[in-house]
Chain A
Amino acid sequence: MNSLKVLRGSNITTLTLFASFAVMCLFFAAQTPFFLTSGNLQTIISTLAVNGIPAIGMTLVLITGGVDISVGSVAALTGVVTSLLWLQYGIPLGISALIGLLSGGLVGFINGSLVTLLKINPLITTLGTFSVVRGLAFVFSEGQTNLLSNEAFQFLGRGQILNIPFSLLCMIALYAVFSLLLYHTAFGRNLYMIGGSAEASRLAGIAVTRHLLVVYTVSGLLAAFSGLISVSQLASSAPRAATGLEFTVITAVVLGGTSMAGGKGTLIGTLVGVIILRTLDNGLVLIQVSSFWQDFARGLVLVLAVGFDQIRARLTGRMKRRAV
């Protein structure tokens, strides 16, 4: 029942987002004739997955009241591990990529363990692993960029099926699977309850530790998958890769209506948030706005999104108090 209310409230947020997106598209279309061309739309959709996939994991983490700052570092480590195993140890690329993916899952599991078992604040925990994992990426790669010229692997980031980017199809499939998980299973409902109150959830018999371990591990795995897509698109891996990914992903998720305080959020909102941010970046480049103003715009969007979230929370609180 509670989750249904959450979804109903979130629908308003999602509709607002769609309206904002439409206004933004109209603005860019009026500014440049290239914005609504098929080539540009293809560019936008073919580069959505790198931010869109880790945003799924971040949504789950934020719903539980946590946060995962380490996603960018995990994405970089995955690329480094994959290229190192393939280029230096001669392990087949598919297996190397799988091990790279699992390394991301392992970091997520460690994050979850630190948060649940040692009760360390998620922000501090993942800030620590953010630095440790980035450091490992530099140590393993010795600071070097490695080229990964393999056509089969490049299909992951650049391939198309019926003119639809393969990475986009992967992203849509993941959103569908995790939407089912979030809205149609006890596991998903429990995540909202944990985000509302971890203590109350524990008293209600929910295995909070197990749920959080799963959520952080999933976040690590999805960040790693994003890292693989990026490596495939760029045909190279670098330890500095995905710098700032966490900022972009958190902005998209909060913009999509997920509350930083936990207990609220939808994947469709996150998806719209990802699309809005990507379109904003694309439009600003197309109309040749200075990169400094692009940074300003991105930061402003985050501040507005968080501000809107706070105002909404206060209004909801007042309405509840009046009702009582």
Chain B
Amino acid sequence: MFNKRLLTVFLITAIVFGAFGALALRPAAVVAQDSCPTQKDSYVIGFANLTEDIDFTKLVREGMVSAAEAAGNVELILADNKLDGATALSNTENFITQGVDGIVHFQTDAAFGNVIMARSRAEGIPVIAIDIPMPGATFFGADNYYAGQLAGEALAAWVNENWGGQADAMLVLELPQSGPVPAARMQGMLESYQANVQTPVAEDQIYRLDSKNTQEESFRVVSDTLPAIPEDSKIVAITINDGTALGVIAAAEAAGRAENIIVVGQNADTSGQEEMIKPNSRYLGATAYFPEKYGDKIIPAMIDILECRPVPPSIFVDHIFISKDNVCDFYPDNWPEFCGGAEATPESGG
């Protein structure tokens, strides 16, 4: 009887201590999984790019691949949303089938954003949305209004210094069909220019033109608008991106009015940089978004989310206004000849 009791007490003690011992001996990561179920030793992340047809998005993809490699524990599955919401949804389904731990979406259709997020939420997969917000996703991308402000300020400073603080007309090359994101850039540029220039452009001399995001359309609408602006007028142009800026400059050159126009834009891609470093270029500069560095912030942010560390709801790009004066600080390898001995242009104020 006594032996039985003793054996029972011994067994209970052994079980209790055994359980505590086993808990104590478990690896830290396994313990953490209980409090953070998405944490793992390695992760599979799906990245669906906006499109593979644009310089900007190609750089985003390259940066994502590099950052995933640098992380060491991330396998990146790539897809192309082809600028289409339905394709983005289909890519989401494919990612879910492939068992991804997290999804990074660069997709343009706000309506599909709701459906994509509903599917991801149902599967418990966190999502980071690039540039176009999606409900419930962590936002990463441009601070569009601020990016616009930088270009507007630079343009106003140039006009103050070179044209006595006054331009007669303004061309606004926008992209109305793409909604509030590009609109914020344009608003930032316009408001910042008007606030910082000595004499703002009169409201009836501001020409809002739809660039349709192409050089040719920009060329056409500016060519058609220039006859409505008196011949010797000083014109400032704010543009949605580099390609559109190139179209404005080509139209002004074709009309023999290049000397009286000065242009700023957004993105500062290779073609834009090449235009701004030309002698006597009419392209003052563009706000850079550094798409090649997106991955450096997105991949660590996704790992933080998966490992249950706090991540802000919006992560912004570090914007800088790039002109011929600082292009060599950021892109010296692109222009070795120019950066070897940059020369000033006749009106190199800004």
**A-to-B contact residues, CB < 8 Å:** 32, 34, 37, 39-40, 43, 46-47, 50, 138, 142-147, 149, 157-158, 230, 233-236, 238-243, 281-282, 285-286, 288, 290-292, 294
Cβ B253 vs Cβ A37 within 8 A? no
Asked if A145 meets B253 with Cβ closer than 8 Å, knowing A241-B215, A291-B212, the reply is no
Cα distance A146–B272 in the bound complex, in angstroms: 10
Q: Which of B129-180 contact A (CB under 8 A)?
A: 176-177
B214 interface residue (CB < 8 Å to A): yes
Q: Which residue of B lies closest to A239 (CB)?
A: B53
Q: Whose C-beta in chain B lies nearest to the C-beta of A242?
A: B216
Question: In the assembly, what is the distance between CA of A52 and CA of B210, in Å?
Answer: 23
A87 to chain B, nearest CB (A): 11
| Contact A291-B176, Cβ < 8 Å, known A39-B227, A145-B55 | yes
B228 lies within 8 A of chain A by Cβ? yes
Name the distance in Å between B310's Cβ and chain A's nearest Cβ. Answer: 37
Q: Which residues of B from 213 to 271 have beta carbons under 8 Å from A? A: 214-216, 219-221, 223-228, 231, 242-243, 246-247, 250, 253-255, 269-271
Q: Is the CB of B278 within 8 A of A281?
A: no
CB distance from A174 to the nearest CB of B (A): 21
Contacts of A243 in B (CB 8 A): 214, 216
Contact A145 B246 (CB under 8 A): yes
Residues of A within 8 A of B177 (CB): 292
Instruction: Give the 10 A-B residue pairs with the shortest CB-CB distance, closest first.
Output: A291-B210, A40-B227, A285-B224, A145-B271, A39-B227, A34-B228, A282-B224, A234-B250, A158-B254, A34-B227
| A286→B55 CA distance, assembly (Å) | 32
User: What is the CB-to-nearest-CB distance from A299 to chain B, in angstroms, rounded to a whole number?
Assistant: 15
Which residues of A have CB within 8 Å of B210? 290-291, 294
| Count of chain A to chain B residue pairs whose CB atoms are closer than 8 Å in the complex | 99
Give bound CA distance, A14 to B248, whole Å.
35
Tell which of B52, B53, B224, B227 touches A240, judged by Cβ atoms closer than 8 Å.
Answer: B53
Closest CB in chain B relative to A110 CB, distance in Å: 23
Residues of chain B within 8 A (CB-CB) of A142 are 58
Query: Contacts A43-B223, A144-B271 known; A236 to B246 CB distance under 8 Å?
Result: yes
A236 touching B250 in the complex, CB below 8 Å, given contacts A43-B224, A281-B224, A288-B207 = yes
Shortest distance from the beta carbon of A164 to any chain B beta carbon, whole Å: 14
Contact A286 B228 (CB under 8 A): yes
Q: Check B55 against A144 for contact (C-beta < 8 Å).
A: yes
Output the least CB separation between B212 and chain A (Å). 7
Q: List 29 A-B contacts (CB under 8 A).
A: A34-B227, A34-B228, A37-B227, A40-B227, A43-B223, A43-B224, A46-B223, A143-B55, A143-B58, A144-B270, A145-B215, A145-B242, A145-B270, A145-B271, A149-B278, A157-B254, A233-B250, A234-B216, A234-B219, A236-B246, A236-B271, A238-B215, A238-B243, A240-B214, A285-B224, A286-B225, A290-B176, A291-B212, A292-B177
Complex CA–CA separation, A290 to B176 (angstroms): 10
Bitwise, B89-129 to A at CB < 8 A (1) or not (0) is 00000000000000000000000000000000000000000
CB distance from B104 to the nearest CB of A (A): 20
Shortest distance in angstroms between B103's beta carbon and chain A's nearest beta carbon? Answer: 24
Structural contact, B225 and A143, CB atoms closer than 8 A: no
Q: Tell me, yes or no, whether B292 is within 8 Å of chain A by CB.
A: no
Q: In the complex, which residues of chain B have a beta carbon less than 8 angstroms from the beta carbon of A147?
A: 246, 271, 274-275
